[in-house]
Amino acid sequence: MQCFVSLGIGTLTADALLHLIPYALGVGEGATDGNQDENAYLWKLCATLGGIWVMFLFEKCMKMAGGGHSHSHGHVHPEHNTFQLEESTVTSFATKDEKSQKQEDEANGNSVREESQENKEESADVNKEKESKDILYCGFPIVGWMIFVGDALHNFGDGLALGVAFSESWVTGVGTSIAIFCHELPHEFSDFALYLNCGISKAKSLLLNFAAACCCYIGLYIGLGISDDEQIREWLLSVIAGIFLYIAFVDVFPEMWNEDKKRPYLTFFVQNLGLVAGWVLLLLIAIYEEPLENSIG
């Protein structure tokens, strides 16, 4: 699963930086000087991806070297620093301890009451969660409907991105399709698991997943219809690039910190393999985009 997660991050970020943003800015469409490499903008954007990768490697290596506590600041108290108290001070402390014993007992009583109150609040929260799962609407729990609506809106946005991308060129559409596929595959598996956790059967969970996926076609047709105008298409590509970057760095990237404690180095290798594979794949599509269009067109 970590391979698909990292591959999704790589394809999403590469599609946003190497395809969507250059198209939105009108870069790379024959606007080159005589001595300038036509792919110069791609190498500069690859440097941006390289900066992201370097920071990921740095934080990951620091975490692995520090055992997950690289940013903690411990306070060491040596055992040889002991204090020898005189007998008079010991007796004075003893009398003070007798006086403070009652205060401690009262404080303990208050803490017990506070703990019991906290336990009651926690049990009330658990009961509310159970009630939300038990409440059915059209045969499905409310939590399941919330997951379905979120997934449907997500798929609608993916369809809109596909429609706008294919309106620009079929190669851009293929690159966006790869990016969406790589991040949607683990997302759909997680939604299916959430449906099952809500008490929905496997058949109904598959039905909800399929119905949410059909919303992608609605977004696709809308994207194809509203992106005939070049200016509208450029604005939409800018928005979609921002959405892809947000999904990659906010929704998907935190999952990269979930590592297998038994095989941390294998997880680290698989994560980097997925990132590099996604970046290289979308970079090759960006470099050979024009020859591919000419060969098929």
pLDDT score for 199? 84
pLDDT score for 123? 55
pLDDT score for 296? 63
pLDDT digits (tens, 9 = 90+) for 95-140: 445 545 555 555 555 555 555 565 655 555 545 544 444 566 666 7
Give the C-alpha separation, 53 to 175, whole Å.
Answer: 21
Phi and psi of 97, rounded to 5°? -65, -40
pLDDT score for 85? 40
CA atoms within 13 Å, Cβ hemisphere of 51: 7
Alpha-carbon separation of residue 7 from 48, 178, 183, 256, 278 (angstroms): 17, 10, 8, 11, 5
pLDDT score for 81? 45
pLDDT score for 144? 82
pLDDT score for 54? 92
Give the C-alpha separation, 61 to 55, whole Å.
Answer: 10
Break the chain into its structural domains and give their ranges: 2-31+39-63+139-296
pLDDT score for 186? 77
Give the C-alpha separation, 27 to 234, whole Å.
Answer: 11
Q: Which residues of the chain have pLDDT under 50?
A: 31-32, 70-96, 99, 126, 129-133
pLDDT score for 74? 43
pLDDT score for 82? 41
From 223, 250, 251, 228, select the one nearest 239 (Cα to Cα). Answer: 223
